[in-house]
């Protein structure tokens, strides 16, 4: 649920735009999903309290700058506008593409520290772990009865994830991944799901399940909307997709020195003037974009100011911009790391709240299905 996309060409009202959103404009025709997202942004600006939002991450490692600009900052924005936000730490879903979930406790607590450090407020947002809400996962059973095997086989996101799976053979959990995500979304009756374009098929499965359940048993669930992210994607330091598992990411929790070292080793090109041209110069342009996002400025202007300074000046600019932007966040995270009992209490309180909601929803489902004995 965390993938970022280049954004809708029609901007939302200024007060509802995430930092750096002006960087993602486009002259391309709007898709129906983009048009709907633009309408939703206008509704959020008018009254965000109408929306209950489900989003989350798999605890497979430290969250990085791509996560921050792709999804995390937007969660804080939606929370601060008054939406009710649920942030899922999807620990069961770690097993979709790997044989074991190593260091799971460390990764779960690390995600929670990242969330709190960036400004997620546990008084307004529920942070919880997948496995701590058994009733949520029990929804998978009736939901699977509403989806055919060919429909699962045709899901393009599942096809892609299977193609890139680390496992020698695909598990049933991977195959049913979209239905499990539907349980994640519908357990709390979320009506809005922030996603990247690659996750739209999963939201469509959720919408289909909500409709089919209503047709067969009666209305219990809302039909949720997808809110497309405007955030542009950042490349890793090797020029590939920034990823926790590829060793090419700059973690939110990285120190200033670690950040400087990683940026110094980032891939660029041999052309002296720095320009912002994502198609022709993807590695250089991604670094320019990172600086622009941190400075909340236009990337073309940032590139023009660096000009003939070349890669060395570019990396110095990026390093300074990143370290300045994340100094307060990293200081807050260091404080949280020194108080693990507080972080664990926040997660446990979120688990209790999520489990309470999941139990209530499951009781509604059982009643609708005639299973109250």
Does residue 181 sit within a domain?
A: yes
The pLDDT value recorded for residue 363 is 98
Same domain, 319 and 273: yes
Same domain, 314 and 219: no
Domain of 214? 14-233+340-368
Same domain, 299 and 344: no
Residue with tokens 């007060």: 15
**Pseudo-torsion of CA 126, 251, 258, 243, nearest 10°?**
170
Distance CA 328, CA 339 (A): 17
Does residue 248 sit within a domain?
A: no
| Of 5, 2, 1, the residue nearest 228 (C-alpha) | 5
The pLDDT value recorded for residue 168 is 64
Same domain, 87 and 216: yes
Residue with tokens 């446990």: 348
pTM of the prediction? 0.88
The pLDDT value recorded for residue 24 is 40
Tell me the two tokens of residue 218. 């009666």
Same domain, 194 and 301: no
* Number of structural domains found in the chain: 2
For the chain, how are helix, strand and coil distributed in percent, rounded to 5?
Answer: 60, 10, 35
Q: Which helix (H) or strand (E) holds 224?
A: none
Does residue 238 sit within a domain?
A: no
The pLDDT value recorded for residue 170 is 72
Same domain, 325 and 352: no
CATH code for the domain of 288: 1.10.240.10
Confirm if 78 and 230 have CB atoms less than 8 A apart: no
Same domain, 328 and 345: no
Same domain, 65 and 210: yes
The tens-digit pLDDT sequence of the chain (373 residues) is: 543 322 222 223 333 333 344 444 444 566 888 899 999 999 999 999 999 999 999 998 899 999 999 899 999 999 999 999 999 999 998 887 776 777 899 999 999 999 999 999 999 999 999 999 999 999 999 999 999 998 988 877 777 766 766 666 777 888 888 999 999 999 999 999 998 887 888 899 999 999 999 999 999 999 999 998 877 789 999 999 888 777 899 999 999 999 999 999 999 999 999 999 999 999 999 999 999 999 999 999 999 999 999 999 999 999 999 999 999 999 999 999 999 999 999 999 999 999 999 999 999 999 999 999 9
Confirm if 117 and 348 have CB atoms less than 8 A apart: no
The pLDDT value recorded for residue 165 is 64
Kindly give the pairing relationship between strand 125-129 and strand 225-228: unpaired
CATH code for the domain of 220: 3.40.50.620
Same domain, 206 and 224: yes
Does residue 7 sit within a domain?
A: no
Confirm if 235 and 286 have CB atoms less than 8 A apart: yes
Does residue 247 sit within a domain?
A: no
Q: State the sign of the Cα–Cα–Cα–Cα dihedral 40, 41, 43, 47.
A: positive
The pLDDT value recorded for residue 164 is 67
Number of CB atoms found within 10 A of residue 313's CB: 14
Same domain, 121 and 173: yes
Does residue 8 sit within a domain?
A: no
* Residues 350-362: b if buried by 16+ CB within 10 A, e if exposed: bbebbbebbbebb
The pLDDT value recorded for residue 127 is 98
The pLDDT value recorded for residue 28 is 52
Does residue 245 sit within a domain?
A: no
Same domain, 158 and 182: yes
Does residue 373 sit within a domain?
A: no
Same domain, 116 and 206: yes
């Amino acid at each position: 649920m965390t993938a970022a996309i280049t954004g809708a060409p029609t901007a939302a009202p200024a007060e509802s735009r995430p930092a750096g959103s002006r960087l993602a404009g486009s002259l391309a025709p709007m898709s129906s999903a983009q048009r709907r997202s633009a309408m939703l942004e206008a509704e959020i600006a008018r009254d965000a309290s109408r929306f209950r939002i489900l989003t989350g991450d798999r605890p497979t490692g430290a969250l990085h700058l791509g996560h921050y600009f792709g999804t995390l900052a937007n969660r804080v924005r939606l929370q601060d506008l008054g939406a009710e936000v649920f942030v899922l730490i999807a620990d069961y879903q770690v097993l979709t593409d790997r044989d074991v979930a190593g260091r799971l406790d460390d990764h779960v607590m690390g995600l929670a520290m990242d969330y709190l450090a960036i400004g997620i407020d546990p008084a307004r947002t529920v942070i919880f772990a997948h496995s701590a809400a058994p009733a949520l996962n029990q929804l998978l059973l009736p939901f699977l009865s509403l989806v055919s095997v060919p429909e699962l086989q045709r899901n393009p996101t599942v096809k892609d994830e299977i193609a890139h799976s680390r496992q020698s053979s695909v598990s049933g959990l991977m195959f049913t991944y979209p239905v499990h995500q539907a349980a994640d979304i519908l357990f709390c009756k979320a009506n809005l799901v922030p996603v990247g374009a690659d996750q739209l098929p999963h939201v469509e499965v959720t919408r289909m399940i909500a409709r089919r359940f209503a047709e067969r048993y009666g209305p219990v669930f809302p039909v949720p909307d997808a809110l497309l992210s405007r955030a542009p994607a950042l490349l890793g330091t090797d020029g590939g997709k920034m990823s926790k598992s590829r060793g090419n990411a700059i973690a939110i929790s990285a120190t200033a020195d670690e950040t400087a070292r990683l940026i110094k080793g980032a891939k660029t090109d041999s052309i002296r003037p720095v320009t912002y041209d994502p198609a022709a110069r993807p590695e250089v342009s991604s670094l320019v974009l990172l600086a622009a996002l941190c400075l909340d400025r236009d990337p073309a202007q940032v590139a023009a100011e660096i000009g003939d300074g070349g890669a060395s000046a570019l990396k110095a600019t990026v390093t300074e911009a990143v370290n300045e932007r994340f100094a307060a966040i990293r200081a807050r995270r260091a404080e949280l790391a020194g108080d693990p009992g507080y972080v664990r209490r926040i997660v446990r309180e979120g688990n209790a709240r999520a489990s309470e909601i999941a139990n209530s929803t499951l009781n509604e489902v059982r009643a609708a299905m005639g299973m109250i004995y």
